[in-house]
Amino acid sequence: MFAIDVAAHTGPWRLRHPGEKALLALGLLGCAVALPPWPGAALAGTAAALLLVGPARVPLPVLLRAARVPALFIATSALPLLVSVHSPTRLGWNPAGAEAAATTTGRAVAGLLCVLLFSATTPLSDVLPRLVRLGVPAAVTEVAALTYRMLFLLVDSVRAVREAQAARLGHRTWRTTYRSLTGQAGAIFVRAFTRARRLEEGLAVRGYTGSLAVQVEDRRVSPTFVVATVALLAAIVATTTVSGASWR
């Protein structure tokens, strides 16, 4: 299981209704996207970060590990904004690129923190069954659940094959490493295909008719949490509005 999934299953917000956490995370995400980057997106991202390491108690190493790949993508996406193409073979500094890069990066980082606030506190098993109640087709949620399950099987297969190759000195040189990677891809494909076929046969034997019956635990919505969420979002909007009026 991934570290962020462990945090979602063991955190103090595990027993909260997913709707509460969705209201908080999506509300902050809306502020980060719709409000000006300063101070709207900055406040939304800061609030999400403080909630993650504070009340939600998500370990900082887990948070940094989950955010490193998206953060790298954000950084590489902002770099082209700093240059301008004068000719097919000539690149130059874009004077207006720094502001555009900072704005884009700020919004993206704030949005990333808001998404992590929901994913690091809410297991997928709590979300998918409730989406059906909201009108999402059952086939969509079941495909998502099976894909989520297959991800863990795929990761286990990658780890097992890699350990077996390392035990046979498959990564001793660059040449053997490339050869091992090729064999690893083939072995993982065969394993994934075999497990998917076994999963399909298991569902058929159990009388699968197009929907999986899943028991959903009833949880009450906390009025205090909802009121605090609305107050936080209103404070961010009000602060951004007042700040924008003062700048004018």
Nearest 10 degrees: Cα torsion 197, 203, 204, 209: -130
pLDDT tens digits, 168-188: 777 777 777 777 777 777 777
Answer whether the bond into residue 39 is a cis peptide, omega within 30°. Answer: yes
Residue scoring higher pLDDT (211 or 154): 154
C-alpha to C-alpha distance for 25 and 44, rounded to whole angstroms: 10
- In the prediction, which pLDDT does 7 show? 83
* pLDDT at site 29: 92
Could you tell me the pLDDT band of residue 27, with boundaries at 50, 70 and 90? very high
What is the spatial distance between Cα 55 and Cα 13, in angstroms, rounded to a whole number? 8
**In the chain, what percentage of residues exceed pLDDT 70?**
90
Q: Is pLDDT at 92 greater than 80 in this prediction? A: no
Is the separation of the CB atoms in 192 and 157 below 8 Å? yes
pTM above 0.85, yes or no: no
Is residue 103 pLDDT above 70, yes or no? yes
pLDDT at 143: 78
- Band (145; pLDDT cuts 50, 70, 90): confident
Q: What is the mean pLDDT of residues 91-110?
A: 81
Which residue shows structure tokens 């998918």? 128
Kindly report, residue by residue over 36-46, the tens digit of the pLDDT.
888 888 899 89
Q: How far apart are CA 8 and CA 174, in angstroms?
A: 39
| Phi, psi at 235, each rounded to 5° | -65, -40
232: pLDDT strictly greater than 60: yes
Cα 229 from Cα 233, distance rounded (Å):
6
List helix spans (H) across the chain: 3-10, 18-34, 42-53, 60-78, 97-119, 124-133, 138-167, 174-205, 223-247
User: What pLDDT score was predicted for residue 231?
Assistant: 92
Question: What would the mean pLDDT of 109-114 be, rounded to a whole number?
Answer: 90
Q: What single DSSP character describes residue 16?
A: S
Residue 146 has a pLDDT of: 77
What residue type is assigned to position 87 of the chain? S
